[in-house]
Amino acid sequence: MKLRELKSIIMRPDVYKEGLKNFSRSFSCEFRERAVLVEIGSYAGESTEILSKGFYLVFAIDPWDSNPESMDSSSTERYNAGIVDAEKSFDYMRQMRPNIIKLKGNDDLFTYAFSENSIDVLYIDGFHTFEDVKKNIFNWYLKVKVGGFICGHDYKEETPGVIQAVDAVLGQEKELFDDTSWKFLMTQDLKERIEEFYEQDKM
């Protein structure tokens, strides 16, 4: 695939790129240079590449699945239409970024590979429904260190499921960025809040 073709499926406008860079810069250098980050939802690897320039090690999780049943009804068709090319674009980008580890599959598949309190930053950018974001949080919150961060993308009107899930499960103590990234410090209190929500949600 030619670089020109790969660029055609890339979706992040420049202001978003800058916003994600600012998100990375909001962590101290000392923190970033040893930080393990897990990204849920990598698509063509645009955000992954930016994050890999800011953080020590990035695990990029995505099924890159073109099955129509596994597509995102909450998002634009752009994400779904080019998933095969998106994976090619991701693989091309990754050749230059040895600190990215590609994990192909739904996030559920990989939670067991991470121990509790082992992740410094979780970045959620999978599907955008309330249920999907809530499930991503439930799957991973125990893996995030106290003193680490739980974050994600698309806290914006167009994706109300993200706003609802973030507000309901995590509360209001967030930092927001120009690219609609959101960020919470993981504390013991926040873990307990998520656990409580999880228990009520199961009933």
Ligand X SMILES: C[S@@+](CC[C@H](N)C(=O)[O-])C[C@H]1O[C@@H](n2cnc3c(N)ncnc32)[C@H](O)[C@@H]1O
Residues engaged in binding ligand X (CB under 6 A): 12, 40-44, 46-47, 61-63, 75, 79, 106-107, 125-127, 153
Asked if 57 contacts 36 with a C-beta cutoff of 8 angstroms, the reply is yes
Q: Which of 44, 190 has the CB closer to ligand X?
A: 44
Amino acid at 137: I
Q: Which of 41, 148 has the CB closer to ligand X?
A: 41
Q: How far is the CB of 74 from ligand X (least distance, A)?
A: 10
Q: How far is the CB of 115 from ligand X (least distance, A)?
A: 19
**132 vs 134: CA distance, rounded Å:** 5
**198 vs 24: CA distance, rounded Å:** 29
Q: How far is the CB of 154 from ligand X (least distance, A)?
A: 7
Chain residue whose CB lies nearest ligand X: 41
Tell which residue, 109, 62, 111, has the closest CA to residue 83: 62
Take residue 92 and report the two structure tokens written for it.
């091309």
Q: Which of 78, 192 has the CB closer to ligand X?
A: 78
**Coil, strand or helix at 100:** strand
Find where tokens 């960025």 sit. 177
Find where tokens 């699945």 sit. 65
Q: How far is the CB of 37 from ligand X (least distance, A)?
A: 12
Q: Which of 33, 158 has the CB closer to ligand X?
A: 158
